[in-house]
A and B are shown apart, each in its own frame.
Chain A
Amino acid sequence: AQSVSQHNHHVILSEAASLELGCNYSYGGTVNLFWYVQYPGQHLQLLLKYFSGDPLVKGIKGFEAEFIKSKFSFNLRKPSVQWSDTAEYFCAVNQGGGADGLTFGKGTHLIIQP
């Protein structure tokens, strides 16, 4: 069975700081990787996804993530955060494409202080 580990449960940053949220997964086969965001009071939205190809993936709102297969990692990054980035961030993995269920990490609660 696959599992996802997010190292930081709570992160507090100031505006304009750089962000990196860690995500590691455990599965030796081919995986698809996702980052979802949940803004306060809203539902989950996809930030970015990796299926194949260039391991550096760019998503919405200036976010990017890098798939490092040797480290089983898919860390999320943003060079300069904004107050509006305050949200819960979830890393997820599946094996079977868009029709397969997702295994989520526990989430990282990010607070950006103005």
Chain B
Amino acid sequence: DAGVIQSPRHEVTEMGQEVTLRCKPISGHNSLFWYRQTMMRGLELLIYFNNNVPIDDSGMPEDRFSAKMPNASFSTLKIQPSEPRDSAVYFCASSLAAHPRTSTDTQYFGPGTRLTVL
């Protein structure tokens, strides 16, 4: 089975540039999550979607960050303009979660995208 797929695996860019991270959830899963991992703050939830609809984006750090899920098999996280403090590993995760309030399904994580902003 293909797990959660993220691309690129590594991204190095310069401050001010636009960065787009991509995620393909596990086929059939209907919930998708974006997390960020840094040494200082650990793993933080940025945003998550149920059935392609954003449910909670309170973790998105600021307006420079945006996320979309145009269909059930694809999501993007965009940073525009990027800043050095955005350097982190960005993880995407998905779960089946047929019934959001009662589901006991596991979140499966992708390999992450390591972003370095110079």
Query: Which residue numbers of A lie inside 8 Å of B, CB to CB?
Result: 32, 36, 42-46, 49, 51, 90, 92, 96-107
A98-B97, A98-B105 known, 9 other contacts, Cβ within 8 Å: A42-B111, A43-B91, A97-B105, A98-B96, A98-B104, A99-B95, A99-B97, A104-B35, A107-B42
- Binary contact readout B93-113 vs A (1 if CB under 8 angstroms, 0 otherwise): 101110111111111111110
Chain B residues, CB < 8 A from A90: 43
A/B interface sample: 10 pairs, CB < 8 A: A36-B109, A43-B110, A46-B106, A49-B104, A98-B105, A99-B30, A99-B103, A101-B48, A102-B35, A102-B45
Whether A44 and B42, one on each chain, are in contact in the complex, defined by CB atoms closer than 8 angstroms, is no
A99 CA / B101 CA spacing, docked (Å): 7
| Interface residues on chain B, size class | 20 to 34
Whether B106 and A49, one on each chain, are in contact in the complex, defined by CB atoms closer than 8 angstroms, is yes
Whether A104 and B100, one on each chain, are in contact in the complex, defined by CB atoms closer than 8 angstroms, is no
A101 CA / B55 CA spacing, docked (Å): 10
Chain B residues, CB < 8 A from A32: 104
Distance in angstroms from A82 CB to nearest chain B CB is 23
A106 CA / B108 CA spacing, docked (Å): 19
A101 CA / B42 CA spacing, docked (Å): 15
In the assembled complex, B16 has its CB within 8 A of some CB on chain A: no
Whether B101 and A96, one on each chain, are in contact in the complex, defined by CB atoms closer than 8 angstroms, is yes
Whether B104 and A99, one on each chain, are in contact in the complex, defined by CB atoms closer than 8 angstroms, is no
In the assembled complex, B82 has its CB within 8 A of some CB on chain A: no
Contact residues of B between 56 and 76, Cβ < 8 Å to A: 56, 59
Whether A97 and B109, one on each chain, are in contact in the complex, defined by CB atoms closer than 8 angstroms, is no
Chain B residues, CB < 8 A from A36: 109
Distance in angstroms from B10 CB to nearest chain A CB is 13
With a 10 A CB-CB cut-off, give which of B44, B104, B107 has the most chain A CB atoms: B107
